[in-house]
Amino acid sequence: MLKISNLNAGYADLPVLKDVSLELQSGTVSIIMGPNGAGKSTLLRSIFNLTNITSGQIWFEGVEITGWPAHQLLELGVAYVAQGKINFGTLSVRDNLLLGAHHLKNRTEVTNRLTTVYQQFPVLLEKERQLAFALSGGEQQMLAIGRALMSSPQLLLMDEPSLGLSPKLVKEVFEKIREIRDTFKTTVLIVEHNIKSLMDIADYGYVMVQGEIVAYDYCSLLKNSVIMKQVFVGKLE
């Protein structure tokens, strides 16, 4: 579904990614792991054209999307949930969700997608008239994910979905990610530090260090690998 080839990207004069290449299979959940500053979030942002790409190519379903603007990526089927549960706090839950489908002209389709998101996240239906800023941390994250799902994405990019959540809410969010994969057949690519629980539901893992992917494999094989132990104890340079 997604193919990245020799991608070099960063911010202004600061290079971050160094010849990054990866491929995602359709209908899978994959994790990007690694120490702080490894370039994990930059990789997601580069897919969504939020960095300065200096070379390399990004392909989605056989179409090169390198440098495409965000609205075209949404229309194509790529959605991005940024780090920090970013919502429009002074808008209602319902209005936040509707913004995720602003590019759709068919109102019936918008209504159908809204119904589907409410089925996935019943708490959002309960609080659809409530302003987003009044939601709990877990509800904020569900709203951010729900808004991304309003575009009915084939590929969902998620940056630190567990950030700031309690262990119980982390488990709930990770379970929702599995449900999204299974229910919507959505391919999910996640940057995450809290990987212990996520590796039990994810299919593949990529380990990044200093802007490069240094290892990748099935999560079941990566979990107890030498390289993972090296990353966790900070010995991989």
pLDDT in tens, 115-143: 989 998 999 999 999 999 898 888 888 89
pLDDT digits (tens, 9 = 90+) for 137-160: 888 888 999 999 998 899 999 998
Instruction: Please report whether residue 237 resides in a domain.
Output: no
**What pLDDT sits at residue 85?**
64
Question: Can you tell me the distance from the alpha carbon of 149 to that of 133, in angstroms, rounded to the nearest whole number?
Answer: 20
Instruction: Please report whether residue 89 resides in a domain.
Output: yes
Please tell me the total count of domains within the chain: 1
Decide: 154 and 78 in contact? Cβ < 8 Å: yes
**What pLDDT sits at residue 162?**
84
Decide: 33 and 192 in contact? Cβ < 8 Å: yes
- Residue 180 belongs to domain spanning: 2-232
pLDDT category of residue 235 using cuts at 50, 70 and 90: low
CATH code where residue 7 lies: 3.40.50.300
Instruction: Please report whether residue 73 resides in a domain.
Output: yes
Instruction: Please report whether residue 210 resides in a domain.
Output: yes
Question: Minimal CA–CA distance to 56: which of 5, 93, 126, 92?
Answer: 5
Give the burial class of 5: count Cβ atoms within 10 A of its Cβ; 0-12 exposed, 13-18 middle, 19 or more buried: middle
pLDDT digits (tens, 9 = 90+) for 159-211: 988 887 888 888 888 888 888 888 888 999 999 888 877 888 899 999 999 99
Instruction: Please report whether residue 34 resides in a domain.
Output: yes
What's the pTM? Answer: 0.89
